[in-house]
């Protein structure tokens, strides 16, 4: 394909030409280029958040030449400058665990001792830093350690923290939260959630988040969830 033909061709099927590992299997232009450049967990975050900063209206689906070239340009920057311009971006700094069992080490490397072991996939963790394919993460209890980036997923999940309803022998008693049919205190209650439940994060408006629990979707107050920033907008 000659580069001069790009501007005159409106309906190119890009997967026919960008024969990079993983490109055809992804769902969007963003996903395809991210996979093609081998961007791992944190660099994918930088890639996506960087695009939101530079080109807020950029379409992750459109395959127009200008759209694709912009994605490619930032993918190159993200791959080359891991830990650079977008590493401190607070947006989407939460990720989730891919593995059912994951060793968390005291430092960035296999020679560091194991601090503890996660034993459940899907748990949300906060990314604090990165070093040579390792990510420094913090869990819901505030514990900090290092894991390999390949074990982290961009899929967003949250932990329901519950509401403190009182104390028993000096220990806080935590109650569940009503999962609402709409983002309103006055909406119908779908079910009463339990503290510690992990839910899939669908969207947040800064006050309420839509979450998925098994085959049920509903709304919970954003300030009663761990795994999403205060006031963060998730679409």
Rounded-to-integer distance, Cα 218 and Cα 98, Å: 24
54 CB-side CA count, 13 A:
15
In which band, very low, low, confident or very high, does the pLDDT at 75 lie, cut at 50, 70 and 90?
low
- Identify the pLDDT of residue 167: 59
Q: What is the pLDDT of residues 9-31, one digit of tens each?
A: 333 343 333 333 333 334 455 55
| Cβ atoms of 86 and 50 closer than 8 Å | yes
- Identify the pLDDT of residue 115: 97
pTM of the model: 0.60
* Tally of domains in the chain: 3
Q: Which of 24, 49, 80 is the last residue of a domain?
A: 80
Q: What is the pLDDT of residues 157-199, one digit of tens each?
A: 999 997 766 556 665 555 678 999 999 999 999 999 989 999 9
225 CB-side CA count, 13 A:
33
Domain that holds residue 147: 94-155
Tell me which of 161 and 72 has the higher pLDDT: 161
| Cβ atoms of 235 and 203 closer than 8 Å | yes
Per-residue CA distances from 165 to 11, 143, 176, 177, 185 (Å): 58, 25, 9, 11, 18
Kind and range of the H or E element at 201? strand 198-205
- Encoded tokens for 14: 């890009």
β-strands 124-131, 178-180: how paired?
unpaired
Within 10 angstroms of residue 225's Cβ, the number of other Cβ atoms is 21
Are both 122 and 163 inside the same structural domain? no
Q: Which of 80, 113, 137 is the last residue of a domain?
A: 80
**At 164, which CATH number?**
2.30.30.40
Q: What is the pLDDT of residues 89-139, one digit of tens each?
A: 443 489 999 999 999 999 999 999 999 999 999 999 999 999 989 999 999
Rounded-to-integer distance, Cα 56 and Cα 53, Å: 6
| Residue 85 maps to a domain | no
| Residue 46 maps to a domain | yes
Tell me which of 7 and 182 has the higher pLDDT: 182
Of the listed ranges 27-36, 83-92, 176-185, 212-221, the one predicted with least confidence: 83-92
Tell me which of 22 and 153 has the higher pLDDT: 153
Are both 165 and 218 inside the same structural domain? yes
| Residue 230 maps to a domain | yes
| Residue 143 maps to a domain | yes
């Amino acid at each position: 394909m000659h580069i001069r033909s790009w501007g005159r061709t409106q309906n190119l099927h890009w997967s026919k030409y960008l024969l990079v590992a993983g490109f055809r299997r992804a769902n969007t232009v963003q996903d395809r280029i991210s996979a093609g450049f081998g961007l791992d967990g944190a660099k994918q975050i930088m890639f996506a958040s960087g695009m939101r900063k530079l080109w807020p209206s950029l379409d992750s689906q459109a395959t127009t030449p200008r759209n694709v070239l912009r994605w490619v340009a930032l993918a190159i920057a993200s791959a080359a400058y891991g830990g650079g311009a977008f590493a401190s971006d607070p947006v989407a700094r939460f990720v989730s665990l891919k593995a059912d069992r994951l060793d968390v080490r005291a430092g960035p490397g296999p020679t560091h001792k194991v601090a503890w072991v996660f034993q459940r996939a899907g748990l949300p963790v906060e990314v604090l830093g990165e070093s040579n394919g390792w990510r420094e993460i913090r869990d819901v209890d505030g514990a900090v350690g290092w894991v390999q980036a390949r074990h982290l997923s961009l899929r967003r999940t949250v932990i329901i923290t519950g509401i403190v309803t009182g104390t028993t022998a000096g220990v806080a008693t935590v109650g569940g939260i009503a999962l609402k049919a709409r983002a309103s205190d006055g909406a119908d209650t779908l079910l009463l959630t339990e503290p510690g439940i992990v839910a899939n994060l669908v969207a947040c408006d800064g006050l309420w988040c839509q979450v998925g629990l098994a085959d049920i979707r509903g709304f919970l107050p954003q300030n009663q969830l761990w795994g999403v920033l205060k006031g963060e907008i998730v679409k």
